[in-house]
Chain A
Amino acid sequence: MRFATLVFTNIRRRPTRSALTVSGVAIAVTAVVALVGIARSFEKTLLAIYESRGVDLVVVRAGGVQRLGSVLDETLGERIRRLPGVHKVSPALAEVVSFEKLDIFGVLVRGLPLESFILDDIRIVAGRRLQPGDTRAVMLGTVIAKNLETGVGRQVEVVAGKPCEVVGIFESHNLFENGSMIMPLEELQKLMDRKGEITALMVIADRKDRESLDALRDKITSLTPCIEVLLAREYIETAIEVRLARAIAWLTSTIALMVGTIGMINTMLTAVFERTRELAILRAIGWRKSRIVKLILSESIILGLAGAVVGTILAIVITQVLSRLPAAGRMVSGEISPQVILQGFAIATLVGLVGGLFPAFRAARLVPTEGLRHE
């Protein structure tokens, strides 16, 4: 007989309780893997918008943590363009609109100049690109076009009462962009009554080493007060939207983990109490305390790992389902990185360890003669 046989025999003798404990851990792991995974992929997708185009720096209004709330003067773009070391600059005005009748909320609309490098690597799948002279024209990403059940030539009320014509449907390799809309910068400014305003400037530098970027950063910052120049990664990571998503994911996961751990402690303590006599017998016939601890901890860690397996499968199913829903599909890619899964397993092992520790030491403290009296 192997030690593992003993561990599994003990787990199997209380199938219902073991199954419930595994469920508890599984829910915690699902929360971690799904929520943290979604938050991560959300962040990654956002970052990819900038990284895939080689955007090095993002210029925003200083002090604003809400990225979309930033307001800059569009003339700043021209001044940055003239700086040495700047390869390309594109302004963008970002607005978030909703289509309440269709239950679609939080759709990003970007106003871009027609020559913006951002437009370079989107592919038109239907209709045409925006052209000079287009008024009240909009291009839709494939996902939002599908969700709005609209197509080329049809009207979309980006702002209620102000219909715009869909001139083209585009596809980007970025999931987040496929759920967004693009309008000529001036048109969006007019539509939103924000003449001369932009949200941010995206800068591609000539040289991408840390020193050159830092120097360029300083030069841009000194152009005008109240602006902040961030690396693309910083821009995303410090965005309140991203931080909130992360915080909510971890908060929910932490609560789930605590519940899972308490469930584990409860199960293992009950198991130890029920087996007081058996454990005392083991001590009496010479088992060391450390071996008793090892036995109980092995049982709880196995339960934890079983929870991790079930939880990971659940999380994969949930994110797959979510990514197919119209409401969430715009942001959830359905991909779960191996890193997040690993995190789920690490956490489940920790739940097993922490949940089993107290019961294990309680078991080890049993005095052999006490247990033998316990008939």
Chain B
Amino acid sequence: MSDPDAGAAVLLRAEQVSKLYRDGRVEALVDVSLEIPRGQYVAIMGPSGSGKSTLLNMLGALDRPTRGEVYFEGRALGSMKSLDGYRAEKLGFVFQSFCLLPTLSASQNVQIPMFETRLTAVQRTAKAAELLELVGMGHRAGHVPGELSVGERQRVAIARALANDPLLLLADEPTGNLDSKTAAGIFDLFERLHRERRMTIVLVTHDPGLAGRAERIVRMQDGRIVTASG
């Protein structure tokens, strides 16, 4: 087989990835293979326990597969010196529960990933302001998460995910804790990032209406991919 990632049109590729828990008695993922081209906007759908979050964790190097491998720009994650570095430089994460640090202001939260870069304190502050402006939160930069609405918190979390100019944005049920109107606002934001910044976005959701706005839908069931459109 010739290198399928040649020219790096494929940003991310999962190859026969399996994840077993409890000494192999629970199969969270079974032989999942998936290619995500650069710049694609992908929604992963499926019922609870279908393995979609587990797959996202494998793609984001938050967890390692029991079998198989994930390749980023053709490089096996298992061969990378530092998965922390991969997460810090190449990825942006958005979680269902926002995962902001409660004692830090919006601006400070956005700056957290920047400690892994060479930016100075002044540059960090300036960049955070820029990103908060981008997600429409410029006016709330000094507020701690407790003073923000849930929708605002998720916007701050998205700004944080963009802190190190990642190539890939991974989002796990980013609107799971939001009402539909707020959720729509967040999806508008994802769409904008995809359109304006040509960002590759992989998001897990079980809202079919929202998933429909992605370029491609990957459906999962019982740890397997059942259909992959696009």
Contact = CB atoms under 8 A, between A and B. Distances in A.
B113 A285 contact: yes
A246 interface: no
A1 B107 contact: yes
B8 interface: no
A289 B84 contact: yes
Interface string A301-314: 00000000000000
Contacts of B102: 278
B104 interface: yes
Contacts of B60: 284
Contact of A9 (B86, B93, B103): B103
Contact of B108 (A5, A282, A368): A5
Interface in B46-101: 57, 60, 62-63, 82, 84-89, 91, 93, 95, 97, 99, 101
A283 B108 CA distance: 16
Contacts of B82: 288
Contacts of B13: none
B120 to A, nearest CB: 9
Interface of B: prevailing SS: helix
Interface in A1-23: 1-3, 5-6, 9-10, 13
Contacts of A282: 112
B155 interface: no
Contacts of B88: 285-288
Contacts of A369: 57, 62-63
Interface in A253-295: 277-278, 281-289, 291
A292 to B, nearest CB: 10
A289 B84 CA distance: 8
Contacts of B87: 284-286
A375 interface: yes
B33 to A, nearest CB: 22
Interface string A173-207: 00000000000000000000000000000000000
Contacts, number: 72
B95 A372 contact: yes
A291 B103 contact: no
Contacts of A286: 84-89, 91, 113, 116, 164
B125 interface: yes
Nearest to A283: B84
B116 A288 contact: yes
B224 interface: no
A122 B84 CA distance: 73
A375 B164 contact: no
Contacts of B91: 286
A246 to B, nearest CB: 46
A372 B84 CA distance: 16
Contacts of A287: 84, 88, 112-113, 115-116
B160 interface: yes
Interface of B: 57, 60, 62-63, 82, 84-89, 91, 93, 95, 97, 99, 101-104, 107-108, 111-113, 115-116, 121, 124-125, 128, 160-161, 164
Given A1-B124, A285-B88, A286-B91, 19 more contacts: A1-B107, A1-B125, A1-B128, A6-B108, A9-B103, A9-B108, A284-B62, A284-B95, A285-B161, A286-B86, A286-B89, A286-B113, A286-B164, A287-B113, A288-B88, A288-B116, A368-B62, A369-B62, A372-B62
14 contacts: A1-B125, A1-B128, A5-B108, A6-B104, A283-B84, A284-B60, A285-B87, A286-B86, A286-B88, A286-B91, A286-B113, A291-B115, A291-B116, A372-B99
Interface of A: 1-3, 5-6, 9-10, 13, 277-278, 281-289, 291, 367-369, 372, 375
